[in-house]
Structures are given as structure tokens and as C-alpha cells.
């Protein structure tokens, strides 16, 4: 079974600071990778996804993530955060074969201070 680890549980940044949120997964086969965001009081929205091809993936709102297969990692980055980026961020994995349900990491709460 796959599992997902998000190392940072709570991150506090000032506006314009750079962001990197860690995500590591555990699964022996091929996976699809996702980052979802949940703004306060709102539903889960997809930030970006990786299926194949270029390991550097660009998403909405200036976010990007890099898939490093050798490290089983899919870290989320943004060069300059804004107060509106305050939200909960979830990394998720979906195995390509076998059980194909989405498995979420524990989440990282990002707080951006103006």
C-alpha cells in the first residue's frame, strides 16, 4: 500500500518569502502525484499534478513541484508567497496499478503573515 509523508506540519512565512513544502511517498510501483490546497472554509482544490514527462510541473497561482523519482519526493515550491496563500496543503498519491484510490499526506498548514 502507498503512504505519503509531509514533514512540515505548520509553516509560518512572511509575505514575499519563498516556500518549499516537503512530500515523500512510499510505493514500489508507478504513481501519479498531486498537490491539493484547502483555503479556510473552502473545498479542496487541485494545485498541480504529475503523471509523466517533465518532472518539473507548474500549477495554478505560481506554484510548481518537482518529482524526484530517486528520492520518492514531490516537493511544492513558490518563489514568493502572498497572504492569500494561507491554507492547508495536502500532497496525495495514486498508484497506477492495483489499488488506485487517492492517499493523502497529513497536510501542512501554511500561515503567511502580511
Partner 1 sequence: DTEVTQTPKHLVMGMTNKKSLKCEQHMGHRAMYWYKQKAKKPPELMFVYSYEKLSINESVPSRFSPECPNSSLLNLHLHALQPEDSALYLCASSQAHLQDRGGNEQFFGPGTRLTVL
Select from 57-65, 70-78, 79-87, 105-113 the region that touches partner 1 (CB under 8 A): 105-113
Q: Rule CB under 8 A: say whether 11 interacts with partner 1.
A: no
Residues in 36-95 at the binding interface with partner 1, rule: CB under 8 A: 36, 42-46, 49, 51-52, 88, 90, 94
Single residue of 1, 28, 70, 99 touching partner 1 by CB under 8 A = 99
SS3 annotation, the chain: CCEEECCCCEEEEECCCCEEECCEEECCCCEEEEEEEECCCCCCEEEEEECCCCCEEECHHHCEEEEEHHHCEEEEEECCCCHHHCEEEEEEEEECCCCCCEEECCCEEEEEEC
CB closer to partner 1 out of 70 and 97: 97
Closest approach of Cβ 95 to partner 1, in Å? 8
22 binds partner 1 (CB under 8 A): no
Query: Residue 13 to residues 26, 31, 78, 81: CA-CA distances in angstroms?
Result: 28, 31, 12, 8
- Interacting residues with partner 1 (CB under 8 A): 32, 34, 36, 42-46, 49, 51-52, 88, 90, 94, 96-97, 99-107, 109
Amino acid at each position: 500500500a502507498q503512504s505519503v509523508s509531509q514533514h512540515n506540519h505548520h509553516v509560518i512565512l512572511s509575505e514575499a518569502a519563498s516556500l518549499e513544502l516537503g512530500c515523500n511517498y512510499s510505493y514500489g510501483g508507478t504513481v501519479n502525484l498531486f498537490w491539493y490546497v484547502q483555503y479556510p472554509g473552502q473545498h479542496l482544490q487541485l494545485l498541480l499534478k504529475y503523471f509523466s514527462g517533465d518532472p518539473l510541473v507548474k500549477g495554478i497561482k505560481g506554484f510548481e513541484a518537482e518529482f524526484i523519482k530517486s528520492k520518492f519526493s514531490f516537493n511544492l515550491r513558490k518563489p514568493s508567497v502572498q497572504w492569500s496563500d494561507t491554507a492547508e496543503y495536502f500532497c496525495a498519491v495514486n498508484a497506477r496499478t492495483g489499488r488506485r484510490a487517492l492517499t493523502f499526506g497529513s497536510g501542512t498548514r501554511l500561515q503567511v503573515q502580511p
